[in-house]
Structure 1
């Protein structure tokens, strides 16, 4: 065991955001005697919505009441007339949730995990930045995709202006208020939000987006035909049916839309219409600067979402950007010089008072050694390349057969100048996007990775993942045989790469397909996925978190029916017994 541990717990949850909080609560619901602790690097509850990350005009993309846990209503205070939810409202909601369910007292704040080790006996040892160590029998790594900023560096020659990452905007409001001209780097949703925030504050903005790669994120229209909120529409099965999802390949509507030429023609018309409405709402044709913000491929950027998908998260989003002093440069920074000059590789130079790097986040796995990353499916083991190549080839053939829309006219993926290190690339090789393959092979049940599926409806997905993880870790549900598990992993990863191009090459991305993902988890748990009271409502009414209210009791009932008796609490004691045994074996 490396060093002396300062404490021991049954379960450690790393992360106090949407995923971590519900993971902790759900585990304690199923095993209330568990000695559980939450560790978080921030100073407050919320994850990406913690106090230090908030700033004015920061809103969620999802409207009220679609952005909450199923059993804990979000108050309407602080929500705009259009239903947009401010970052401050979300922070207050999560803080109240943690207090009401006595989770806040379990959190160790300002504790960045710098190293994760596993002993030969299977226990996990976490080392925190201050040297503090914690040992646990089970580890829930709920850090999420927005916790490890990618901070670029450039050659400097007498350059003195500050450079910050977009995740630190909330900590630098005074600095930003003093700037008159700001350089924004990147093309993700955070770049759009930052440009909106700056132009609304009256700043002149130089927005730098590299020419290659996936380009700007696709931004959906605020509404469809001025009637339906676009993001609300994503929560309906009717809209989800038009997306070719490997998790939804049966039933009348799948066969009608995806297995017939006329169905695919209708689906194509739907996506062209959605793309036209998105382009029209954004006003990409207004001037040369806005033309550079149009996602590619032109005419189908919404469908592929190759660099990701976002939605205007404020009522005056596009109006503010168009009315501001916004200059878009499709280039890259070559160097920084002369106190305040940004030199681009197209021989352009712009002056600046501040640079905000909206350059995204790397996967939060650096605390794990490379050997552990391979063991846990967090990066790809080159010794297994041939095996996985065969599995992926088989999976691609299956996808081409089941989802013909993805077989033809697929744009080429641009990987030139990829800034993400290979060891941190690729969708995880995790069953149900949660459990490492080798953990299943060993029946170890000691670690899981929630929160890394890229979706818009984070609270609902987090709630299902939390219940699935807790049930798995406590031995209440079992995965299928290893061959089936491998096929499931390969099929999903091959699908997300074909479906979302550059974005799918990096992440488990299912932005249009979260309902079919939830359906899959629900069926595993013995929970009824279809929650509406009629076929018409099931297809066309939006799915709200409250539709899943009672899912925990439903799971317990399914367990009771399956086992012939109630789920017993001593499972949590077995965690403690396991930890004592592990400690004794290597102390």
Structure 2
């Protein structure tokens, strides 16, 4: 049987829920469906992924939807606290129920393939837990599967004969009993999830933990204190303080209306000196706080490059006790080596060490790429309008323009790993495939890496509804404009975050607030949302600053059915 819908959203995490909520608010009479392969909503915070000790990097107040506050009286989280995973799972369920998304959600349903159909919509082939197949057709489609759906799992020699449990961090919740049953544990990885898992085994389970850090990888994560600088400001607040965003090069940065300040900092020699000193001071602050130079074992966890080149891949030190003290006393032992082979209960490392263990957990990240198969719309659904030499020329021009505008990016860091020339995810505004920009029936939500998740999810959700309804106040008007902007923005990531995800997908740190400016101005709304100029520059932005955004958009377009864009009927130029 084939079911028909006006909108289908694939993914029930932060971004999928927000996209569905926004669309339902403006189209309460339409048939909307949310699909998710998991058994509960929440994405990263779904029930089957809540491993022991998991909590948010964000502090209370920065990880909530603008129009659905996480009140202390309801959720029990206070100012200055990180949010427990179980609370976030409950909060996202409550949000979905409050805005009518929950009853429109179908769980345990995996989308296997998506095909463009002649009617201008989409056909989705789905399977449930019983492997039963169903076909769903929809006029509009939002893909919100996110970046933590498909794990990277290493293939080691000897895995077939390895006795202890061997699993990815995604399945830590399923295997949480190993925390109590293991005397020895091997954790492969050097990101925040690897540290989380190592900490759980060392504290809750009292195990000896060996932390394996690949010498040819990106190295240990920047683990920043929740409060930084001598003024003890929240790190997430610094990222969303407008005046501080000027210290990060950004091609959409002028959207904030302060181009003069940005040009001074990035186009003059003295300005670049200030920028370099700013980032070096931030790096030095974290190095001193964590005591990387005070202990030889802790020094193995010192990041390999300055924080400037890292992007959103940093972590926040949200542990209840001193993580680095566990390293000093040998409870967590870092090894700069790779796994050579597995056999019996032994892990052989490339440096000659042999580790006996009761469990191996691979905190080896995620496949940062589109996993769904899309037919009839170009390579992986992200096709460009240019091919061959024409495409190569646009890319060369974008690289040249980036380095001209931001000369400091010419001095790229020396990497320990060989960076592959990847084809990044190329989307207009990091949301719409260039080939589909004027069809107005396909959008991606959350295909970005950011610590400003709540703001991004809410603003992207409203932007997508406006895009579908042809009510954006501004948008590139030709295929040529769309493609050149997409290339410009996506090539920038390669230069800006070589130690992050920038070569393959949008990576945001101090670029986040200017990106929100970009989308808010597309909506025709006011992006400076503070009461005074001083507050605008120096008071951090929080999700609640955008609480009235939906109502403002509704009032702006009261009685308007569509704009008279050249491509209002979906015609390509």
TM-score (norm. length: structure 2)? 0.90
Q: Which residue of 1 aligns with 2:123?
A: 125
CA–CA separation in structure 1 for the residues paired with 2:272 and 2:321: 35
Q: Which residue of 2 aligns with 1:79?
A: 77
Structure that is richer in helix per residue:
1
- Name which of 172, 183, 195 aligns with 1:169: 172
What SS is found at the alignment partner of 1:128? strand
1:61 aligns with 2:57: yes
The aligned runs of 1:24-173 (5 Å cut-off) are: 24-76=20-72, 77-79=75-77, 82-129=80-127, 130=131, 131-156=133-158, 158-173=161-176
What SS is found at the alignment partner of 1:505? coil
1:472 aligns with 2:467: yes
The aligned runs of 1:143-542 (5 Å cut-off) are: 143-156=145-158, 158-201=161-204, 202-222=206-226, 223-225=228-230, 227-249=232-254, 250-297=258-305, 300=306, 302-305=307-310, 308-316=313-321, 318-319=323-324, 321-322=326-327, 325-337=331-343, 339-363=344-368, 365-369=370-374, 372=377, 374=379, 376-377=381-382, 384-407=387-410, 409-412=411-414, 416=418, 425-440=422-437, 443-477=438-472, 479-480=475-476, 481-502=478-499, 503-542=501-540
Tell me how many residue pairs correspond in the alignment: 549
CA–CA separation in structure 1 for the residues paired with 2:464 and 2:263: 32
CA–CA separation in structure 2 for the residues paired with 1:50 and 1:152: 24
Greater Cα offset, 510-519 or 111-120: 111-120
Greater Cα offset, 550-559 or 475-484: 475-484
Distance 1:376 1:96, change over 3 A: same
Shift, 1:307, TM fit: 8.7
Q: Deviations for 1:338-390, whole angstroms, at most 9, x for unmatched residues?
A: x2101122222111111111111114633315865516217x89x82433321
CA–CA separation in structure 2 for the residues paired with 1:239 and 1:196: 33
Distance 1:114 1:145, change over 3 A: same
Shift, 1:132, TM fit: 2.0
TM-score (norm. length: structure 1)? 0.88
Question: Is the CA contact (8 Å cut-off) linking 2:116 and 2:376 kept in structure 1?
Answer: no
CA–CA separation in structure 1 for the residues paired with 2:36 and 2:199: 29
Shift, 1:16, TM fit: 0.8
Greater Cα offset, 20-29 or 346-355: 346-355
Q: Deviations for 1:465-499, whole angstroms, at most 9, x for unmatched residues?
A: 11111111122226312222112111111211101
Shift, 1:12, TM fit: 0.6
Greater Cα offset, 452-461 or 312-321: 312-321
Cα RMSD (Å) of the superposition?
2.4
Shift, 1:118, TM fit: 2.0
What SS is found at the alignment partner of 2:59? coil
Unaligned runs of 5+ in 1: 569-573, 579-587
Question: Is the CA contact (8 Å cut-off) linking 2:266 and 2:407 kept in structure 1?
Answer: yes
Question: Is the CA contact (8 Å cut-off) linking 1:365 and 1:373 kept in structure 2?
Answer: no
What SS is found at the alignment partner of 1:275? helix
Unaligned runs of 5+ in 2: 563-567
